[in-house]
Amino acid sequence: VAPVTMNAFELISKSRGLNLGSLFEK
């Protein structure tokens, strides 16, 4: 993926800090 064409918010949304699914992993 060419970074310049990336949407910055799209990039940010991949943060592990925003992946609350981890809270549910036993």
Residues making contact with other proteins (CB under 8 A): 3-24, 26
Which residues lie below 8 Å from residue 18, measured CB to CB, with a gap of 6+? 12
Secondary structure string (H, E, C) spanning the chain: CCHHHCCHHHHHCCCHHHCHHHHHCC
